[in-house]
Structure 1
């Protein structure tokens, strides 16, 4: 591989209008209980973070499937490029399987190569840092419904690199 090859990292991220409860207080001797919330709107994001910091992303308001991952890679493979693109990908079930394996040859013909990270090693996936910042630091948690949440997530992803930045160095 050429040392100047682009590098993409893919993952799937889920966001909801209400943040998860990280901790809570309770009286000594009493077990803390939380009533379950009604089903809320969610937004799933598929993203690829290039080595130059450019974020390629798409989202949907339904669970992400292997077909979505394949369509996302097809989109990346179709983009013009001068050097091979290397995709580092985690071992999520939707990132693996016969349909993905069958597409790998086609993507390789377009200069897109998949390499899996070792199992249980999210710390090696740079985009995980981006997801953490987006979920815990950049979100304002003001979305009251699915449409507001979608607008907020689209704004976060669109503004990455300008309004929202990370120094990986």
Structure 2
């Protein structure tokens, strides 16, 4: 069972608890603009694997389908080798339930990929949320980035660190931008 969710990271991290010498004030130099966001779509199978993809801005249905087609191809291989299906738990986000996405559901099921939708407003039931929290509060917290590239590199490093700490395999999907 894999847990799917999207999370976003901004170039300015929120201020966190910290310490400074008595009589001095904590200073966090700010970069020019706080605009800019990197979104990550992840599928976490606890203690086994974490698959993910990054985009600038937010995920759209087309990119979600590309990632899910990749996951479905791997599900097909698992089904062929072991006879086991792959179940993805996700919320009812618009990109997961759009008309375009729904058109893929039957194909994905034929490949051994089944979707399970959480009840509305129950994000706490999605176990991947704890991984997002760890990434944001321990790996990239308190950092300011001049550009989205720097933020993306920090996310990549943070994901690698999380996989080592969690003892799971890490695999990144890279979009074909030709």
Contact 1:48 1:57 in 2 (8 A): yes
Match of 2:64 among 64, 69, 74: 69
Aligned residues: 146
Structure 1 segment 100-115 matched on structure 2, within 5 A: 100-115=101-116
CA contact (8 A) 1:8 1:49 kept: yes
Q: How far did residue 157 of structure 1 move?
A: 1.7
Q: Is the contact made by 2:3 and 2:89 (CA closer than 8 Å) also made in structure 1?
A: yes
CA contact 1:47–1:56 (8 Å) conserved in 2: yes
Q: What is the CA–CA distance in structure 2 between the aligned matches of 1:13 and 1:95, rounded to whole Å?
A: 14
The alpha-carbon deviation at position 143 of structure 1 amounts to: 4.1
Please, what TM-score do these two structures have when normalized by structure 2? Answer: 0.74
The answer for the alignment partner of 2:8 in structure 1 is 14
Counterpart in the other structure of 1:129 = 130
> Using the alignment, how far apart are the partners of 2:53 and 2:143 within structure 1?
22
In structure 1, the gaps of 5 or more residues are 1-6, 24-36
1:141 match: 142
Match of 1:97 in 2: 98
Q: Distance in 2 between matches of 1:90 and 1:125?
A: 8
**Structure 2: stretches of 5+ with no match in the other structure:** 18-31, 168-178
Over aligned residue pairs, what C-alpha RMSD do you find?
2.1
Give the drift of 1:22.
7.6
Partner of 1:3: none
- Of the two structures, which has the highest relative contact order with CA contacts closer than 8 Å and spacing of 6 or more? 2
